[in-house]
Structure 1
Amino acid sequence: MAVADLPAPVARIPESDVDIPELVAALRERVEGEVRFDRGTRATYSTDASNFRQVPLGVVLPRTPEDGAEAVAVAREFGAPLLSRGGGTSLAGQCTNTAVVLDWSKYCTAIESVDTHARTCVVQPGIVLDELNRRLADTGLRYGPEPATHMNCTLGGMIGNNSCGATAQRTGKVVDNIARLEVVLHDGTRFWCGETSDEEYAAIERHGDPRAAIYRQLRRLRDEYADEIRRRYPDIPRRVSGYNLDSLLPEHGFDVAGLLVGSESTLVTVLRAELELVPVLPERTLVVLGYPDIATAADAVPAVLPHEPVALEGVDSKLIRDERIKHLNPKALGELPEGHAFLMVQFGGRTRDDVQRQAHDMLDALRGTGHEADVSFLDDPAREAELWQVREAGLGATAHVPGRPDTFEGWEDSAVAPGKLGDYLRRLSALYREFGYASDTGPSLYGHFGQGCVHTRIPFDLYTADGVATYRRFMERAADLVAEFGGSFSGEHGDGQSRGELLGRMFGTDIVTAFGRLKAIFDPGNRMNPGKVVAPYGLDENLRLGGHWSPADPQNLHFRFPHDGGSFAEAANRCVGVGRCRQHHPSSGQVMCPSYQVTGEEEHSTRGRARLLFEMLDGHRDGPLTDGWRSTEVRDALDLCLACKGCKTDCPANVDMATYKAEFLAHHYAGRPWRRPRSDYTMGWLPAFARAVGRLHAGRAVNALSHAPVLSHLATRAAGVEDREIPRFAGQTLRQWFARRGPAGTGARGTVLLWPDTFTNHFHPAAGRAAVALLEDAGWRVTMPDRALCCGLTWISTGQLGVAKRILTRTVRALAPHLRSGGLVLGLEPSCTAVFRADAFEMFPGDHDVRRLRDQTVTLAELLTRHSPGYRPPRVEANALAQVHCHQHAVLGWDADRELLGAAGVDTERLDSGCCGLAGNFGFERGHLEVSKACAERVLLPRVRSADAGTVVLADGFSCRTQIHELDSGGREGRHLAELLAAALPTTDDAPPTPHP
């Protein structure tokens, strides 16, 4: 059969044509992995990181590649479309479809073999790139291509997209680093493929099997279109658009694996990959060149390339501006040279002398030319890593910038020849101006300039029909511009739906016809990711927003969402899908998302929960979630949210899931308090119970009852909490102690109000007494409120927001005189302090006293460093491990603590442990114990157990100290910063003891 006679792919298959109940039954019978067709899962996987949304039929999480192949077989028998998905960070819509989604990322994460001599390894498709390179570290080898999402992108996804990243300057794209692939077609044909010599081709043909038929058709296709492929394919480093038909050419060894790389799950399902590895370059140095504008910086690229940098990135001042607005990478931004655009030029080599020489040779060559620049030379790996984060943060930094219009992907990775890059940027900027997208706050331009690839997010109006029509016209014009420059619509992220329909403008009719014929060879029934690349949906179809998007945006909110214009819908839409919340290794330096870290479940990532909240608002009227605030699917996904607030800082879009959870729970249980878990009442109303115990001086009696062997078990059951050790009440509260003692000290520095939070006051007053001694020694006069007050934290975390607001209002009114006089409020418990610094303002953004409370609340370290000039802390010669509370990480910051500890002589290691796992009420709530323990066992507890006997464990959070006390079998106890420093003061009658409560 001639190539011209091959059938075109059939039309897309309606969901109604698939017998879903029978499909599910067969999958559950024959697939060992997880089969999920529930409404919550379908909502969670309804979109990727793109502008598009399609609700899947269901999701399968294979346990092995063979399990995945069996899922493909079942789908074939029922005629179900298939979509193979990795980290779900695709920007062109290729990872969203009305299909059975295969998610490899939970189980299929093995390295099956490593051949250091051949520099290859065989991996399963779900392994994350950073994890792969960590496991290869001892070999001195690594996988070369490294996208900015390297901490969470999977190798299967990278293969599907033909990913690149900054390191592609040295190593090339994924297609340049694949030896072989094991693939299975929708019809069940399964084989390994790679480069194919004539002898190998003849051997394959002799088998006369389906693989032989595919190879024969591929050779005919190649022969018919070879001249057109050579003529129409851009000769540039970053051609990612279209299928890799050029890999079939004789000069590329008839490489069938290369052909399938970048095919976006539209042709085959990848089961395994044999990767080509490169040696690790142990030495790096980074030179940053400053230029007056981004096009001038691009003009300099051809002059830099002959010096063979391993990475050559460009960033403009608008990206820097956005990062400063969002307080991203502040230290690194201070390292930049003068200029309004920058080239980041990295050299790598075996020795320090090699990289230094390369860098100086480049600078010498630029000197005296039109490309000479202001220079910053970084040779400290830590500083280099910080500055590199400036570039990697581009996607998140340019999304949801305060005071700026929302920006979107779509034209985010076009590529031209590096020598044409400057002129292309000038023309692209003119196109922005023509369409009204350019302004002082307009799109930033950055990217892999050494290979001519440009990243940007554009303020498309994807909310109105006119805006969508303008978006379409811009995309068409931008496509014509790139074609004029001989470039590629995609230089990294693939075509998917964003650019699929535009490919004819780049390749011409004949090559697009060849794409259709290729699709017919592998997938004649059009079951593999239909509507992407070939016979594509329109670039304005299936939009996640669009002119018809009309969410049910609630108005009776408790939080006012001041950063989202008062809109819960806008807050839920913050997630851009970049997937930073899918953390796989404890050395990432971030807290979010603890439950994902121990479960590996998409719905337990910040992104997954945000998707569910977005779908809950039912802006498309065809979604799987129709119960609004009453949704049990959303409730169940939020159940394992620890409300750690890590995402508030770690998420590049600043999604604040703790706040969203509290708001949701308030509405979910509104009018039906009997449906609340009992733990909401026992934990949420803890401050009121503790106040009653303190008032009656009943702490000893309560402790005796709650720790009696039988009674303690009955008490936890009655309270609806896990069978954990109940914290002991102190014999004397902090307020009782202070009332008897009264203020003391000179007050030379002024008066500070020490906030007696519930946990310090009733359970660990030793920290409060230590703080008083320390502050008075520093010259402060300490006061406390003259009545029992509360910040409302426990009511907030359990979603009892009506009560929380009343309590918080009462507290703010009581503190108002102190605040209006300019007085500072000192918080010792990070979670309560964070309420004053964040939650209170987000509930009452228009209240001036609340704003004063936010601005005048300080931590102990902030008070003694920022507000106590000349203060020298007592000398403490000690080693310490610091478990930084999640809310301190997310809201308060720890820089002042590091400074204070250093001044005191404490050699401190900040644990890269994330959340301790207790997280206030979370670890006590029924059904959370195993997750709570697993969080603690990731880093915190093993590191504490292995520490030297004399090492101090610093933990300002009561939750953290409680978790260490209960779960650490080594008998260690956490100490508050105040206790550590106060213990070094001269002994007085008020010197605080430091036992655990």
Structure 2
Amino acid sequence: MATVELPAPVRRTDRPEPIDVGSMITALRDRVDGEIRFDPGSRATYATDASNFRQLPIGVVVPRTPEAAVAAVAVAREFGAPVLSRGGGTSLAGQCTNTAVVIDWSKYCNRIESVDQEARTCLVQPGIVLDELNRQLADTGLRFGPEPATHPNCTIGGMIGNNSCGATAQRTGKVVDNIKRLEVLTYDGSRFWCGETSDEEYAEIERRGDTRAMIYRQLRRLRDEYADEIRERYPDIPRRVSGYNLDSLLPEHDFDVARLLVGSESTLVTVLRAELELVPVQSERSLIVLGYPDIYRAADAVPAILPHEPVALEGVDHKLITDQQLKGLNPQAIKELPEGTAFLMVQFGGDSTEEVDRQGKQLLEALHETEHEPDVAFYDDPDREAELWAVRESGLGATAHVPHRPDTFEGWEDSAVAPDRLGDYLRGLNRLYQEFGYASETGPSLYGHFGQGCVHTRIGFDLYTADGVATYRRFMERAADLVVGFGGSLSGEHGDGQSRGELLGRMFGDRLVDAFGRLKAIFDPLDRMNPGKITAPYRLDENLRLGADWAPWDPQDLYFKYPHDGGSFAEAANRCVGVGKCRQHGNSGGQVMCPSYQVTGEEEHSTRGRARLLFEMVNGHGDSPVDNGWRSDEVHDALDLCLACKGCKTDCPANVDMASYKVEFMAHYYRGRPWKRPRSDFAIGWMPAIGQLVSRFKIAPLVNRLSHTPGLHRLAIRLGGLADREIPIFAEQTLQQWVAGRTPGGDGHRGTVLLWPDTFTNNFHPEVGKAAVRLLEDAGWRVTMPEQPVCCGLTWISTGQLGVARRVLSRTVRQLAPHVRAGGLVLGLEPSCTAVFRSDAPELFPTDRDVRRLRDQTVTLAELLTEHSPGYQPPQVDGKAIAQVHCHQHAVMGWDADQKLLQAAGVDAEQLESGCCGLAGNFGFERGHEAVSEGAAERVLLPRIREADTMTAVLADGFSCRTQISELAGNGRTGIHLAQLLADRLIEE
């Protein structure tokens, strides 16, 4: 065989050749079956991932098939443009940000192409989300084993790129251990399948004499030349993810080229398809939580637990628990933790409850009366286990933007050592924290996959000043030396990217880093595949998303005051940490955000995408493509399909409040130019005033007749700029008029409650208020109500008319002040209006004491009857119900009290995991929103109503939800308010 010359290592160059972007766009549109997006908004949306780094892409391609991605790479090659493959965009080390043509696989290339149950394999496209893959595999009894905490939104392609792991890797190993074959594409256009390669297969490949043969010859030469160093320098630990997998080329690993390419972070090839190895689903689980005095002794106990073969073994310290308590995360699960300030979560799996319980008891017996004996909590209830597991999976979000703490960042969030050295490594890491001034009673927290020695944390780096960035660099260098001294890895599952690429020499030595460069040159000699990551990397303090030169425009004339962000809109826009929980697929799993993304699959329609655009709008680096401030059309277009559901306010681990950001932006976007506002803003925003006119002049019958006459209806919606939907019917008698004309009932022994006459209950559905009055009087409350017209300002808030909203709300607060100053409660029946008092008002007027009193003394019906009515027994309904919980109730008030009240009433109530109904106040009535509005409803809500028994009540406290159900569910199905469900039984009794 002829001598094979290895190419020289790829070296980084900062002088890329100019690219004819205009001509490349034309070629992409001509030749690629997909969406070609080189507009400023798309470039801004994809400028960063979940890391510390930011690089503006050249543009974005969303291919409809893997073959379309091949065509896109071919065009990029013709124009010399770098390429970056992107999955869920949740990478923490900067792998998914680059000045390149970004290929986003997640929208279309997300199919399972085949399943072989006997061989336990499946063939998938790279954009399929892990949870969706396992959902589709459920009937086979098989699943893909590795499961990172981002499993609801991470893609298989991204997992391959990062060599992801997760808690289940304790049983199933890393992604590299679960890959059968890959179909890959090199930058020069070569396309082939790869996997294990026997000597016979290698000889057959070599005989072909094509590009693949050349690559394989060079790979074998590379392996032979560096084999000794690979065996010597690669840590023999469960979680070595750093560097390229050169060890997969060794003879003892069957020259596995597919596994070599796992974890290469889009720097070598483009993965087109993957054949995955699957594992059997274990039907039963048990969870034991072990409490220890500190995290170091918890880590010391890990080696004693491992022989019992748990399927997962996670560690959590008290600082993480405190962070979750401060952010209100997982409160019930935290209550159930055993005694201690650090915890090991030990999960056993098997095919029967007896088996998993036996495993747990054997572990506890083995630990009894040893130095590792813990305080114990034992669970085999799936609901309790899921809650406790959420404590661990919430780690990243829980440690970001903790109230009254400095911001925390990735960087050293993923180191790994051998499990038997974990305790000592954590002690050394804590000493390093103390030396650099990062240690405190409140942070950094330590948690992670302790059964495999992998440690996660977020550190309060100062990435805003030159000195802070310099200290960050010194810490990273010292931390790298520390983990290498323990025989560990810079990364245990998140990869190297830009955070740790520069430090690889400290772990592997110069000679193996040289081998990495030669490997890169074999596959990508022109350095066009995700350049500057892993090999010839950018510096770890380069391309920072913040950095010492970050100087954002921070507007001062704000309507909302952003008390959780120091009054700064720029800080609010920087709140997103990129975890991507808003990119939900399939059922929402009790999560509301982000309904428009769930319908469109568009990154810019996720909470994260919109947050990225707002971050670019404040233009902290001066090079943002979104450079027109409040007048930015790119931001306007992205926010237009935000339903302002407020789901992200609670569901987002960083508490990004996109509903407030949207209306703040819209208020400024249209400020001084009302003629640009859509007419629907006036028609819907001024609905309270219209309702007051209709009731004052008693013209409801006339208005209803005119608005529901076919020709006049069409004229009305055209003049109002509205979608072609039914116009709500005004009640002939408002709730206020009904209350004013009746004699109060009941003995009022519980006191007086003010029933808030919200616009929707008062003008359109007064029967809800009437039911509430009957129910409250029966419960012993005296009901009062303002006699004059009042409004919380909701419709002006939701349409971004914040100047009017503030005036209306201020007047209302003054009118309610005597009642709330006397300690009186205010009862809200409409969730969206109740949420204004509980959330919006305090953020519009954070220093107003009457607003604070109103916030604290506004209650829902269920809260009043459970928390403020001791001994109350509701009417017995004894039936079934499915509940569509209003988005604002989910986000602000919660549904726990409702669930408690329904249970007391004998109602078997199922809370639908349907997310937003899709109407969302004004959103569904606005022209151009029809498809998203109906698409959100058709995901879960409408199908569940249609399949429900007609005797099953459909609970929907929100006017929007009831309207959506009435219009779209069919078969005469309607929703009823909780007050109606309970009060109707009073009438029967």
Q: Deviations over 1:878-903 (max 9, x none)?
A: 11110000000000110000000110
Are 1:312 and 2:329 counterparts? no
Residue 583 (structure 1) aligns with: 584
Are 1:155 and 2:161 counterparts? no
Paired letter, 2:576: C
CA distance in 2, matches of 1:270, 1:580: 24
Which residues in structure 2 correspond to 1:221-236 (within 5 Å)?
Answer: 221-236=222-237
Residue 930 (structure 1) aligns with: 931
Q: Deviations over 1:20-74 (max 9, x none)?
A: 0011000000001100000000000000000000010000001011111111111
User: What's the offset of the Cα at 1:108?
Assistant: 0.3
Q: Deviations over 1:424-467 (max 9, x none)?
A: 00000010011110111110000000000000000000111111
- Contact 1:13–1:81, Cα closer than 8 Å, also in 2: no
Residue 892 (structure 2) aligns with: 891
Which residues in structure 2 correspond to 1:24-35 (within 5 Å)?
Answer: 24-35=25-36
CA distance in 1, matches of 2:620, 2:232: 46
Residue 505 (structure 1) aligns with: 506
User: What's the offset of the Cα at 1:8?
Assistant: 2.8
User: What's the offset of the Cα at 1:545?
Assistant: 0.3
Residue 530 (structure 1) aligns with: 531
Which residues in structure 2 correspond to 1:631-710 (within 5 Å)?
Answer: 631-710=632-711
CA distance in 2, matches of 1:282, 1:781: 53
- Contact 2:93–2:498, Cα closer than 8 Å, also in 1: yes
Paired letter, 1:470: T
Any idea what SS the aligned residue of 2:660 has? helix
Unaligned 5+ segments in structure 2 are none
- Contact 2:5–2:218, Cα closer than 8 Å, also in 1: no
Are 1:565 and 2:566 counterparts? yes
User: What's the offset of the Cα at 1:4?
Assistant: 6.7
Any idea what SS the aligned residue of 2:986 has? coil
Which residues in structure 2 correspond to 1:365-764 (within 5 Å)?
Answer: 365-764=366-765
CA distance in 2, matches of 1:86, 1:445: 27
CA distance in 2, matches of 1:968, 1:986: 28
Q: Given the superposition, is the C-alpha separation of residues 339 and 748 from structure 1 closer, same or farther in structure 2, using an over 3 Å criterion?
A: same
Are 1:63 and 2:64 counterparts? yes
Residue 23 (structure 2) aligns with: 22
User: What's the offset of the Cα at 1:974?
Assistant: 0.6
Any idea what SS the aligned residue of 2:115 has? strand
User: What's the offset of the Cα at 1:860?
Assistant: 0.2
Residue 244 (structure 1) aligns with: 245
Which residues in structure 2 correspond to 1:789-938 (within 5 Å)?
Answer: 789-938=790-939
Residue 112 (structure 1) aligns with: 113
Any idea what SS the aligned residue of 2:454 has? coil
Paired letter, 1:521: I
CA distance in 2, matches of 1:129, 1:169: 18
Q: Deviations over 1:245-264 (max 9, x none)?
A: 00000000000000000000
Residue 209 (structure 1) aligns with: 210
CA distance in 2, matches of 1:254, 1:72: 27
User: What's the offset of the Cα at 1:145?
Assistant: 0.3
CA distance in 1, matches of 2:433, 2:647: 36
- Contact 2:731–2:763, Cα closer than 8 Å, also in 1: yes
- Contact 2:9–2:519, Cα closer than 8 Å, also in 1: no
User: What's the offset of the Cα at 1:354?
Assistant: 1.2
- Contact 1:94–1:532, Cα closer than 8 Å, also in 2: yes
Q: Deviations over 1:201-257 (max 9, x none)?
A: 000000000000000000000000000000000000000000000000000000000
Residue 772 (structure 2) aligns with: 771
Paired letter, 2:178: N
Moved more, 514-523 or 977-986: 977-986
- Contact 1:286–1:346, Cα closer than 8 Å, also in 2: yes
User: What's the offset of the Cα at 1:10?
Assistant: 5.2
User: What's the offset of the Cα at 1:949?
Assistant: 1.2
CA distance in 2, matches of 1:490, 1:189: 31
CA distance in 2, matches of 1:583, 1:610: 16
Residue 276 (structure 2) aligns with: 275
Paired letter, 2:142: L
CA distance in 1, matches of 2:647, 2:6: 57
User: What's the offset of the Cα at 1:767?
Assistant: 0.3
Any idea what SS the aligned residue of 2:985 has? coil
Paired letter, 2:729: R
CA distance in 2, matches of 1:723, 1:142: 45
Which residues in structure 2 correspond to 1:190-205 (within 5 Å)?
Answer: 190-205=191-206
- Contact 2:562–2:843, Cα closer than 8 Å, also in 1: yes
User: What's the offset of the Cα at 1:877?
Assistant: 1.8
Any idea what SS the aligned residue of 2:276 has? strand
Q: Deviations over 1:365-398 (max 9, x none)?
A: 1111100000000010110011000000000000
Residue 994 (structure 1) aligns with: none
CA distance in 2, matches of 1:871, 1:483: 64
User: What's the offset of the Cα at 1:969?
Assistant: 1.4
Q: Given the superposition, is the C-alpha separation of residues 364 and 436 from structure 1 closer, same or farther in structure 2, using an over 3 Å criterion?
A: same
User: What's the offset of the Cα at 1:357?
Assistant: 1.1
CA distance in 1, matches of 2:951, 2:552: 57
User: What's the offset of the Cα at 1:15?
Assistant: 6.6
CA distance in 1, matches of 2:157, 2:577: 21
Normalised by the length of structure 1, the TM-score is: 0.98
- Contact 1:12–1:530, Cα closer than 8 Å, also in 2: no
CA distance in 2, matches of 1:7, 1:461: 38
CA distance in 2, matches of 1:167, 1:558: 46
User: What's the offset of the Cα at 1:631?
Assistant: 0.2
- Contact 1:792–1:807, Cα closer than 8 Å, also in 2: yes
Any idea what SS the aligned residue of 1:554 has? coil
- Contact 1:561–1:568, Cα closer than 8 Å, also in 2: yes
User: What's the offset of the Cα at 1:986?
Assistant: 4.0
CA distance in 2, matches of 1:48, 1:577: 6
CA distance in 2, matches of 1:319, 1:416: 21
CA distance in 2, matches of 1:788, 1:2: 91
State the superposition RMSD in angstroms.
1.0
User: What's the offset of the Cα at 1:587?
Assistant: 4.4
User: What's the offset of the Cα at 1:6?
Assistant: 1.2
Any idea what SS the aligned residue of 1:984 has? helix
User: What's the offset of the Cα at 1:745?
Assistant: 2.2
Any idea what SS the aligned residue of 2:455 has? coil
Any idea what SS the aligned residue of 1:447 has? strand
Residue 259 (structure 1) aligns with: 260
Any idea what SS the aligned residue of 1:655 has? coil
CA distance in 2, matches of 1:65, 1:360: 49
CA distance in 2, matches of 1:557, 1:923: 27
- Contact 2:9–2:516, Cα closer than 8 Å, also in 1: no
Any idea what SS the aligned residue of 2:448 has? coil
Residue 333 (structure 1) aligns with: 334
- Contact 1:12–1:526, Cα closer than 8 Å, also in 2: no
Q: Given the superposition, is the C-alpha separation of residues 830 and 904 from structure 1 closer, same or farther in structure 2, using an over 3 Å criterion?
A: same
Q: How many residues align?
A: 988
- Contact 2:313–2:346, Cα closer than 8 Å, also in 1: yes
User: What's the offset of the Cα at 1:356?
Assistant: 1.1
CA distance in 1, matches of 2:948, 2:419: 52
Any idea what SS the aligned residue of 2:9 has? coil
CA distance in 2, matches of 1:890, 1:788: 28
Unaligned 5+ segments in structure 1 are 989-997
Any idea what SS the aligned residue of 2:444 has? coil
Any idea what SS the aligned residue of 2:378 has? strand
Q: Deviations over 1:676-735 (max 9, x none)?
A: 111111111111111101111011100000000111011000100101000100010000
Paired letter, 1:184: L
Residue 959 (structure 1) aligns with: 960
CA distance in 1, matches of 2:675, 2:770: 40
Residue 992 (structure 1) aligns with: none
- Contact 1:3–1:517, Cα closer than 8 Å, also in 2: no
Residue 104 (structure 2) aligns with: 103
